[in-house]
Chains A and B, each alone.
Chain A
Protein backbone atom coordinates (compact mmCIF):
# COMPACT_ATOMS: atom_id res chain seq x y z
CA UNK A 1 0.00 0.00 0.00
CA UNK A 2 1.43 3.33 -0.96
CA UNK A 3 0.03 6.79 -1.24
CA UNK A 4 0.33 8.56 -4.55
CA UNK A 5 -0.20 12.22 -5.22
CA UNK A 6 -2.20 12.23 -8.42
CA UNK A 7 -3.65 15.66 -9.02
CA UNK A 8 -4.01 19.19 -7.84
CA UNK A 9 -7.42 19.78 -6.32
CA UNK A 10 -7.98 22.86 -8.42
CA UNK A 11 -7.39 21.15 -11.74
CA UNK A 12 -10.57 19.07 -11.49
CA UNK A 13 -13.89 20.95 -11.30
CA UNK A 14 -17.01 19.53 -9.74
CA UNK A 15 -18.63 16.98 -12.02
CA UNK A 16 -15.45 16.42 -14.00
CA UNK A 17 -13.26 13.38 -14.38
CA UNK A 18 -9.69 12.72 -15.31
CA UNK A 19 -7.54 9.76 -16.24
CA UNK A 20 -4.46 9.28 -14.09
CA UNK A 21 -1.80 6.65 -14.56
CA UNK A 22 -0.31 5.57 -11.32
CA UNK A 23 1.68 2.53 -10.25
CA UNK A 24 1.00 0.94 -13.62
CA UNK A 25 -2.75 1.38 -13.34
CA UNK A 26 -5.28 3.48 -15.19
CA UNK A 27 -7.46 5.25 -12.70
CA UNK A 28 -10.48 7.44 -13.31
CA UNK A 29 -10.59 10.28 -10.84
CA UNK A 30 -13.88 12.12 -10.24
CA UNK A 31 -14.84 15.25 -8.41
CA UNK A 32 -18.30 14.64 -6.93
CA UNK A 33 -19.60 17.85 -5.37
CA UNK A 34 -16.14 18.70 -4.10
CA UNK A 35 -15.27 15.21 -2.89
CA UNK A 36 -12.78 13.11 -4.83
CA UNK A 37 -13.23 9.46 -5.78
CA UNK A 38 -11.08 7.11 -7.81
CA UNK A 39 -12.13 3.93 -9.60
CA UNK A 40 -10.43 1.67 -12.10
CA UNK A 41 -10.75 3.26 -15.50
CA UNK A 42 -11.53 0.17 -17.50
CA UNK A 43 -15.17 -0.78 -17.84
CA UNK A 44 -15.61 -4.43 -16.92
CA UNK A 45 -17.97 -4.97 -19.81
CA UNK A 46 -15.92 -4.38 -22.94
CA UNK A 47 -13.14 -2.20 -21.67
CA UNK A 48 -14.18 1.39 -22.44
CA UNK A 49 -12.56 4.27 -20.53
CA UNK A 50 -14.84 5.21 -17.67
CA UNK A 51 -13.06 8.54 -17.30
CA UNK A 52 -14.71 9.46 -20.59
CA UNK A 53 -18.17 8.55 -19.41
CA UNK A 54 -20.92 10.99 -18.58
CA UNK A 55 -21.28 11.93 -14.93
CA UNK A 56 -24.97 11.62 -14.11
CA UNK A 57 -27.57 11.29 -11.40
CA UNK A 58 -29.74 8.31 -10.71
CA UNK A 59 -33.06 8.07 -12.53
CA UNK A 60 -35.59 6.17 -10.47
CA UNK A 61 -39.30 5.44 -10.71
CA UNK A 62 -41.83 3.42 -8.80
CA UNK A 63 -44.54 3.99 -11.37
CA UNK A 64 -44.31 4.07 -15.15
CA UNK A 65 -43.89 7.68 -16.23
CA UNK A 66 -43.18 9.06 -12.75
CA UNK A 67 -39.43 9.52 -12.73
CA UNK A 68 -37.26 11.36 -10.26
CA UNK A 69 -33.59 12.19 -10.40
CA UNK A 70 -31.55 11.67 -7.26
CA UNK A 71 -27.87 11.42 -6.34
CA UNK A 72 -26.85 14.09 -8.84
CA UNK A 73 -23.34 13.64 -10.14
CA UNK A 74 -22.68 10.43 -8.23
CA UNK A 75 -22.79 7.97 -11.10
CA UNK A 76 -20.79 7.58 -14.25
CA UNK A 77 -22.34 6.15 -17.38
CA UNK A 78 -19.90 4.16 -19.51
CA UNK A 79 -19.13 5.99 -22.77
CA UNK A 80 -20.00 2.93 -24.83
CA UNK A 81 -22.97 0.84 -23.69
CA UNK A 82 -24.09 3.12 -20.92
CA UNK A 83 -23.82 0.87 -17.89
CA UNK A 84 -23.98 3.03 -14.77
CA UNK A 85 -21.37 2.80 -12.03
CA UNK A 86 -21.53 4.31 -8.59
CA UNK A 87 -18.52 6.59 -8.44
CA UNK A 88 -18.29 6.19 -4.66
CA UNK A 89 -18.11 2.40 -4.65
CA UNK A 90 -17.37 1.24 -8.18
CA UNK A 91 -20.46 -0.96 -8.15
CA UNK A 92 -22.63 -1.09 -11.24
CA UNK A 93 -26.22 -0.07 -10.72
CA UNK A 94 -27.71 -2.98 -12.65
CA UNK A 95 -25.67 -5.74 -11.10
CA UNK A 96 -23.85 -4.39 -8.04
CA UNK A 97 -22.84 -7.76 -6.67
CA UNK A 98 -21.12 -9.12 -9.73
CA UNK A 99 -20.30 -6.20 -11.99
CA UNK A 100 -18.09 -3.63 -10.36
CA UNK A 101 -14.82 -1.82 -10.77
CA UNK A 102 -12.20 -1.47 -8.11
CA UNK A 103 -12.46 1.69 -6.09
CA UNK A 104 -9.53 3.32 -4.35
CA UNK A 105 -9.22 5.34 -1.19
CA UNK A 106 -8.73 8.99 -1.94
CA UNK A 107 -7.88 11.89 0.33
CA UNK A 108 -6.96 15.51 -0.02
CA UNK A 109 -3.85 16.90 1.60
CA UNK A 110 -1.89 20.13 1.72
CA UNK A 111 1.32 20.16 -0.22
CA UNK A 112 3.20 20.91 2.98
CA UNK A 113 2.11 17.68 4.55
CA UNK A 114 3.13 15.73 1.50
CA UNK A 115 6.78 16.60 1.49
CA UNK A 116 7.38 14.19 4.31
CA UNK A 117 6.17 10.71 5.00
CA UNK A 118 5.30 7.84 2.70
CA UNK A 119 3.93 9.87 -0.20
CA UNK A 120 4.99 9.24 -3.74
CA UNK A 121 4.59 12.16 -6.04
CA UNK A 122 6.34 10.37 -8.87
CA UNK A 123 6.59 12.85 -11.73
CA UNK A 124 4.42 15.33 -9.92
CA UNK A 125 5.96 18.52 -8.56
CA UNK A 126 4.31 19.39 -5.26
CA UNK A 127 4.24 22.86 -3.86
CA UNK A 128 3.69 23.50 -0.18
CA UNK A 129 0.66 25.78 -0.32
CA UNK A 130 -1.63 23.92 -2.63
CA UNK A 131 -4.15 21.09 -2.03
CA UNK A 132 -3.55 17.73 -3.64
CA UNK A 133 -5.53 14.58 -4.30
CA UNK A 134 -3.88 11.51 -2.90
CA UNK A 135 -4.79 7.94 -3.79
CA UNK A 136 -3.90 4.87 -1.84
CA UNK A 137 -2.89 1.84 -3.87
Chain B
Protein backbone atom coordinates (compact mmCIF):
# COMPACT_ATOMS: atom_id res chain seq x y z
CA UNK B 1 0.00 0.00 0.00
CA UNK B 2 1.40 3.34 -0.96
CA UNK B 3 2.08 5.90 1.73
CA UNK B 4 -0.34 8.37 0.21
CA UNK B 5 -3.13 5.84 0.20
CA UNK B 6 -2.44 4.93 3.82
CA UNK B 7 -2.57 8.58 4.82
CA UNK B 8 -5.83 8.94 2.99
CA UNK B 9 -7.41 5.96 4.69
CA UNK B 10 -6.31 7.10 8.13
CA UNK B 11 -7.61 10.56 7.47
CA UNK B 12 -10.97 9.28 6.32
CA UNK B 13 -11.36 6.90 9.25
CA UNK B 14 -10.67 9.72 11.67
CA UNK B 15 -13.10 11.92 9.79
CA UNK B 16 -15.72 9.21 10.18
CA UNK B 17 -15.24 9.08 13.92
CA UNK B 18 -15.50 12.83 14.18
CA UNK B 19 -18.61 12.70 12.03
CA UNK B 20 -20.24 10.08 14.26
CA UNK B 21 -19.98 12.22 17.36
CA UNK B 22 -21.35 15.21 15.50
CA UNK B 23 -24.24 13.21 14.11
CA UNK B 24 -25.08 11.80 17.54
CA UNK B 25 -25.04 15.30 18.98
CA UNK B 26 -27.29 16.53 16.18
CA UNK B 27 -29.70 13.66 16.74
CA UNK B 28 -29.91 14.44 20.44
CA UNK B 29 -30.68 18.06 19.70
CA UNK B 30 -33.31 17.15 17.11
CA UNK B 31 -34.89 14.74 19.55
CA UNK B 32 -34.82 17.38 22.29
CA UNK B 33 -36.67 19.81 20.04
CA UNK B 34 -39.12 17.23 18.73
CA UNK B 35 -40.15 16.27 22.23
CA UNK B 36 -40.04 19.76 23.66
CA UNK B 37 -41.68 21.96 21.06
CA UNK B 38 -45.24 20.45 21.30
CA UNK B 39 -45.68 22.13 24.71
CA UNK B 40 -45.98 25.42 22.89
CA UNK B 41 -49.34 24.25 21.59
CA UNK B 42 -50.54 24.37 25.20
CA UNK B 43 -48.70 27.41 26.50
CA UNK B 44 -47.12 30.37 24.72
CA UNK B 45 -43.32 30.72 24.67
CA UNK B 46 -43.62 33.79 26.87
CA UNK B 47 -46.01 32.07 29.24
CA UNK B 48 -43.65 29.13 29.45
CA UNK B 49 -40.48 31.10 30.08
CA UNK B 50 -41.89 33.81 32.30
CA UNK B 51 -44.93 32.18 33.85
CA UNK B 52 -44.46 32.02 37.61
CA UNK B 53 -46.60 28.99 38.30
CA UNK B 54 -45.17 25.52 37.83
CA UNK B 55 -48.01 23.08 38.61
CA UNK B 56 -47.63 20.46 35.88
CA UNK B 57 -49.84 17.89 37.58
CA UNK B 58 -52.74 20.12 38.60
CA UNK B 59 -55.99 20.36 36.73
CA UNK B 60 -55.72 22.60 34.83
CA UNK B 61 -51.92 22.41 34.85
CA UNK B 62 -49.62 25.45 34.86
CA UNK B 63 -46.39 25.36 32.87
CA UNK B 64 -44.46 28.45 33.88
CA UNK B 65 -40.78 27.68 34.42
CA UNK B 66 -39.66 31.12 35.55
CA UNK B 67 -39.19 29.92 39.17
CA UNK B 68 -37.01 27.09 37.85
CA UNK B 69 -34.93 29.45 35.70
CA UNK B 70 -34.51 31.80 38.63
CA UNK B 71 -33.58 28.84 40.80
CA UNK B 72 -30.87 27.80 38.36
CA UNK B 73 -29.52 31.31 37.96
CA UNK B 74 -29.53 32.05 41.67
CA UNK B 75 -27.66 28.93 42.75
CA UNK B 76 -25.20 29.33 39.89
CA UNK B 77 -24.63 32.98 40.77
CA UNK B 78 -23.98 32.32 44.44
CA UNK B 79 -21.81 29.31 43.73
CA UNK B 80 -19.80 31.50 41.32
CA UNK B 81 -19.43 34.08 44.05
CA UNK B 82 -17.74 31.42 46.17
CA UNK B 83 -16.02 29.28 43.54
CA UNK B 84 -14.49 31.91 41.24
CA UNK B 85 -12.29 33.66 43.79
CA UNK B 86 -11.34 30.42 45.50
CA UNK B 87 -10.68 28.54 42.28
CA UNK B 88 -8.69 31.30 40.60
CA UNK B 89 -6.71 32.21 43.68
CA UNK B 90 -5.86 28.61 44.45
CA UNK B 91 -4.69 28.18 40.84
CA UNK B 92 -2.50 31.25 41.13
CA UNK B 93 -1.12 30.10 44.43
CA UNK B 94 -0.43 26.55 43.27
CA UNK B 95 0.99 27.49 39.88
CA UNK B 96 3.11 30.44 40.88
CA UNK B 97 3.68 31.02 44.55
CA UNK B 98 3.47 27.81 46.54
CA UNK B 99 6.69 26.20 47.72
CA UNK B 100 7.19 22.82 46.04
CA UNK B 101 6.14 20.79 49.07
CA UNK B 102 2.86 22.66 49.56
CA UNK B 103 2.17 22.36 45.86
CA UNK B 104 2.67 18.61 45.99
CA UNK B 105 0.00 18.36 48.66
CA UNK B 106 -2.53 20.92 47.38
CA UNK B 107 -2.63 19.92 43.76
CA UNK B 108 -3.69 16.27 44.20
CA UNK B 109 -6.15 17.21 46.93
CA UNK B 110 -7.94 19.63 44.63
CA UNK B 111 -7.88 17.10 41.83
CA UNK B 112 -9.35 14.54 44.20
CA UNK B 113 -12.20 16.95 44.80
CA UNK B 114 -12.85 16.94 41.06
CA UNK B 115 -13.11 13.17 41.13
CA UNK B 116 -15.74 13.04 43.89
CA UNK B 117 -19.03 11.77 42.45
CA UNK B 118 -21.67 14.47 42.73
CA UNK B 119 -23.97 12.17 44.61
CA UNK B 120 -21.40 11.94 47.37
CA UNK B 121 -21.18 15.70 47.59
CA UNK B 122 -24.95 15.87 47.54
CA UNK B 123 -25.10 13.38 50.36
CA UNK B 124 -22.67 15.48 52.34
CA UNK B 125 -24.90 18.49 51.74
CA UNK B 126 -27.98 16.62 52.89
CA UNK B 127 -26.59 14.80 55.86
CA UNK B 128 -24.13 17.29 57.31
CA UNK B 129 -24.48 20.76 55.84
CA UNK B 130 -28.28 20.89 55.90
CA UNK B 131 -28.77 20.08 59.60
CA UNK B 132 -25.97 22.44 60.47
CA UNK B 133 -27.47 25.30 58.46
CA UNK B 134 -30.89 24.57 59.89
CA UNK B 135 -29.66 24.77 63.46
CA UNK B 136 -27.26 27.65 63.07
CA UNK B 137 -29.68 29.95 61.28
CA UNK B 138 -32.82 28.51 62.86
CA UNK B 139 -34.44 27.64 59.52
CA UNK B 140 -37.39 25.46 58.61
CA UNK B 141 -35.05 23.51 56.30
CA UNK B 142 -31.35 23.36 55.56
CA UNK B 143 -32.00 22.32 51.97
CA UNK B 144 -31.86 25.71 50.31
CA UNK B 145 -30.02 28.09 47.99
CA UNK B 146 -27.08 28.52 50.35
CA UNK B 147 -26.56 24.82 50.73
CA UNK B 148 -26.81 24.15 47.00
CA UNK B 149 -24.47 27.06 46.20
CA UNK B 150 -21.86 25.82 48.64
CA UNK B 151 -21.93 22.29 47.28
CA UNK B 152 -21.95 23.46 43.67
CA UNK B 153 -19.01 25.71 44.46
CA UNK B 154 -17.17 22.71 45.84
CA UNK B 155 -17.75 21.02 42.50
CA UNK B 156 -16.79 24.01 40.38
CA UNK B 157 -13.61 24.90 42.28
CA UNK B 158 -11.51 22.01 40.94
CA UNK B 159 -12.68 22.63 37.37
CA UNK B 160 -11.86 26.32 37.61
CA UNK B 161 -8.64 25.72 39.47
CA UNK B 162 -7.20 23.10 37.15
CA UNK B 163 -8.06 24.90 33.89
CA UNK B 164 -6.80 28.21 35.26
CA UNK B 165 -3.65 26.47 36.43
CA UNK B 166 -2.97 25.17 32.93
CA UNK B 167 -3.45 28.68 31.59
CA UNK B 168 -0.94 30.00 34.10
CA UNK B 169 1.59 27.29 33.32
CA UNK B 170 1.41 28.10 29.63
CA UNK B 171 2.67 31.65 30.23
CA UNK B 172 6.22 31.57 28.83
CA UNK B 173 9.05 31.53 31.34
CA UNK B 174 10.66 34.38 29.40
CA UNK B 175 7.99 36.82 30.54
CA UNK B 176 8.64 35.97 34.15
CA UNK B 177 12.39 36.28 33.74
CA UNK B 178 11.96 39.67 32.08
CA UNK B 179 9.83 40.80 34.99
CA UNK B 180 12.25 39.60 37.65
CA UNK B 181 15.17 41.13 35.81
CA UNK B 182 13.42 44.49 36.06
CA UNK B 183 13.30 44.21 39.82
CA UNK B 184 9.80 42.82 40.27
CA UNK B 185 8.95 40.68 43.27
CA UNK B 186 7.30 37.29 42.75
CA UNK B 187 3.95 38.77 43.73
CA UNK B 188 4.31 41.68 41.29
CA UNK B 189 5.35 39.28 38.57
CA UNK B 190 2.28 37.16 39.11
CA UNK B 191 -0.22 40.00 39.28
CA UNK B 192 1.22 42.23 36.57
CA UNK B 193 2.61 39.78 34.03
CA UNK B 194 1.52 36.19 34.53
CA UNK B 195 -2.16 36.71 35.28
CA UNK B 196 -2.74 39.27 32.50
CA UNK B 197 -1.00 36.96 30.04
CA UNK B 198 -3.21 34.07 31.16
CA UNK B 199 -6.42 36.07 31.34
CA UNK B 200 -8.13 34.42 28.41
CA UNK B 201 -7.49 30.97 29.85
CA UNK B 202 -8.58 32.06 33.30
CA UNK B 203 -11.84 33.48 31.95
CA UNK B 204 -12.47 30.27 30.08
CA UNK B 205 -11.87 28.34 33.28
CA UNK B 206 -14.38 30.46 35.16
CA UNK B 207 -17.05 30.13 32.54
CA UNK B 208 -16.61 26.41 32.08
CA UNK B 209 -16.74 25.96 35.84
CA UNK B 210 -20.02 27.85 35.87
CA UNK B 211 -21.38 25.90 32.92
CA UNK B 212 -20.69 22.80 34.95
CA UNK B 213 -22.54 24.23 37.93
CA UNK B 214 -25.62 25.28 35.96
CA UNK B 215 -26.00 21.88 34.34
CA UNK B 216 -25.27 19.90 37.48
CA UNK B 217 -28.30 17.82 38.44
CA UNK B 218 -27.65 15.50 41.35
CA UNK B 219 -26.53 18.13 43.79
CA UNK B 220 -29.41 20.51 43.21
CA UNK B 221 -31.84 17.61 43.24
CA UNK B 222 -30.57 16.58 46.65
CA UNK B 223 -29.90 19.82 48.46
CA UNK B 224 -31.72 22.73 46.81
CA UNK B 225 -34.98 21.87 48.56
CA UNK B 226 -37.19 21.54 45.51
CA UNK B 227 -39.63 24.41 46.00
CA UNK B 228 -40.83 25.70 42.62
CA UNK B 229 -41.29 29.24 43.82
CA UNK B 230 -39.34 32.42 43.28
CA UNK B 231 -37.02 32.69 46.30
CA UNK B 232 -36.88 35.72 48.55
CA UNK B 233 -33.73 34.98 50.51
CA UNK B 234 -30.74 32.68 50.22
CA UNK B 235 -32.32 30.50 52.89
CA UNK B 236 -35.28 29.67 50.66
CA UNK B 237 -35.59 26.40 48.81
CA UNK B 238 -35.47 26.41 45.01
CA UNK B 239 -36.00 23.96 42.21
CA UNK B 240 -33.38 24.53 39.52
CA UNK B 241 -34.17 23.24 36.02
CA UNK B 242 -32.06 20.06 36.08
CA UNK B 243 -33.55 19.06 39.43
CA UNK B 244 -37.04 19.56 38.11
CA UNK B 245 -36.36 17.45 35.03
CA UNK B 246 -34.71 14.66 36.98
CA UNK B 247 -37.36 14.56 39.67
CA UNK B 248 -40.39 14.65 37.41
CA UNK B 249 -39.38 12.76 34.31
CA UNK B 250 -40.10 9.42 35.90
CA UNK B 251 -43.66 10.29 36.80
CA UNK B 252 -44.64 12.30 33.73
CA UNK B 253 -46.72 10.11 31.38
CA UNK B 254 -45.08 9.52 28.00
CA UNK B 255 -45.82 12.31 25.52
CA UNK B 256 -48.09 14.09 27.97
CA UNK B 257 -47.99 17.88 28.24
CA UNK B 258 -45.92 17.53 31.37
CA UNK B 259 -43.45 15.33 29.49
CA UNK B 260 -43.15 17.89 26.69
CA UNK B 261 -42.76 20.70 29.20
CA UNK B 262 -39.81 18.92 30.78
CA UNK B 263 -38.15 18.52 27.40
CA UNK B 264 -38.75 22.18 26.69
CA UNK B 265 -37.06 22.94 30.01
CA UNK B 266 -34.18 20.85 28.71
CA UNK B 267 -34.04 23.05 25.61
CA UNK B 268 -33.81 26.16 27.78
CA UNK B 269 -31.03 24.58 29.79
CA UNK B 270 -29.29 23.59 26.59
CA UNK B 271 -29.34 27.16 25.33
CA UNK B 272 -28.04 28.45 28.63
CA UNK B 273 -25.04 26.11 28.66
CA UNK B 274 -24.49 26.77 24.96
CA UNK B 275 -24.50 30.48 25.76
CA UNK B 276 -21.91 29.93 28.49
CA UNK B 277 -19.66 27.99 26.14
CA UNK B 278 -19.95 30.49 23.30
CA UNK B 279 -19.17 33.26 25.76
CA UNK B 280 -16.13 31.33 26.99
CA UNK B 281 -14.99 30.93 23.42
CA UNK B 282 -15.51 34.60 22.65
CA UNK B 283 -13.65 35.71 25.77
CA UNK B 284 -10.73 33.42 25.11
CA UNK B 285 -10.34 34.92 21.64
CA UNK B 286 -10.90 38.47 22.68
CA UNK B 287 -8.37 38.44 25.49
CA UNK B 288 -5.81 36.38 23.64
CA UNK B 289 -2.73 38.49 23.74
CA UNK B 290 -0.66 38.46 20.60
CA UNK B 291 1.59 35.34 20.54
CA UNK B 292 4.92 34.88 22.23
CA UNK B 293 8.10 36.65 21.30
CA UNK B 294 8.61 35.16 17.87
CA UNK B 295 10.96 36.46 15.25
| A and B interact physically | no
